[in-house]
């Protein structure tokens, strides 16, 4: 539950940031504060994956979208999340709008790469 809540908060902030930088006249300090918040959430995130929370590897149902690959490659997972945390921090410190936009674009790519490797998405059940 904690992991899901943290990710929901992350996605909410990321959506606001990404939509805002597509427009004009956005308030950079407000968006930088959101990125700083994402930095803190990301820094805490990998610590929410203790070994006893690894989902079953058989076909039994699981309430998590975390892939077992997280626990199998924890050092890689941890490194990816910490790199994204640093990118969010750098966005929060960006000197201008262009530098901020570049960091936001990099952060989205880092998130998508990590999700592709470590997020399990179940296919819809047939009707």
Crossing angle of helices 28-44 and 2-22, in 10° steps, is 150
The pLDDT of residue 122 is 67
Rounded to whole angstroms, the Cα distance separating 125 from 86 reads 38
Beta-bridge partners for 119? 66
The pLDDT of residue 124 is 66
Cα angle for residues 64, 43, 109 (degrees, 5° grid): 75
Of 71, 57, 50, 59, the residue nearest 3 (C-alpha): 50
Structure confidence by residue, pLDDT tens digits, 43-96: 999 999 999 988 877 777 777 888 999 999 999 999 999 999 999 999 999 999
Indicate the helix (H) or strand (E) that contains 28: helix 28-44
Q: Answer yes or no: is pLDDT of 125 > 70.
A: no
């Amino acid at each position: 539950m904690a992991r899901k809540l943290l990710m929901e908060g992350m996605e909410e902030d990321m959506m606001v940031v990404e939509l805002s930088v597509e427009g004009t006249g956005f308030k950079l300090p407000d968006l930088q504060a959101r990125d700083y918040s994402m930095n803190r959430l990301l820094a805490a995130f990998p610590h929410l994956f203790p070994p006893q929370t690894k989902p079953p590897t058989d076909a039994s149902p699981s309430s998590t979208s975390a892939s077992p690959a997280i626990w199998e490659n924890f050092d890689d997972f941890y490194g990816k999340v910490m790199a994204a945390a640093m990118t969010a921090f750098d966005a929060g410190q960006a000197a201008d709008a262009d530098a901020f936009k570049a960091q936001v674009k990099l952060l989205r790519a880092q998130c998508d790469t990590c999700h592709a490797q470590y997020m399990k998405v179940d296919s819809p059940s047939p009707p």
